[in-house]
Amino acid sequence: MKYLILLAILVLGWCPWFKADEAMQIVDTRIAELQVQHADLCAMNVFKDTIKKVPFGYTEEVSYDCRVTDSIYGVPESHNIVFITFFKGLVGMPEKTISNTVFH
């Protein structure tokens, strides 16, 4: 029984059914959704060549640059590594808006 549980954990960690193209599409879709929901969202770029297979999913680098939408108070370009889980969730997605970057 222990070996069966270990095998199940290894298969879930490897997640052979989850492909890099699908993970990139999930990130692209989430960025599009955020841009529709928040008109003041900072510009976001995804670095397609940074996608890496890791246990239980993928990681990918996403950058945001608030200077595009607010040249006075916008923060310079910054980077986040997002984790795309095998059950198609995102962890660490930046949601910077102009109102969050202004210092009073």
Amino acid residing at 84: I
**60 in Cβ contact with 81 (< 8 Å):** yes
| Res 66 pLDDT > 80 | no
Mean pLDDT, the chain, as a whole number? 81
List phi, psi (to 5°) of 103: -105, 125
Tally the C-alpha atoms within 13 A of residue 59's C-alpha that lie toward its C-beta.
8
Q: Over pLDDT 90: what percentage of the chain?
A: 29
Q: Model pTM greater than 0.85? A: no
- Alpha-carbon distance 58 to 60, whole Å? 7
Amino acid residing at 49: D
Question: How many domains does one find in the chain?
Answer: 1
Least confident piece of the model among 12-26, 47-61, 71-85:
71-85
For residue 13, what are the domain limits? 2-101
Least confident piece of the model among 9-23, 39-53, 71-85:
71-85
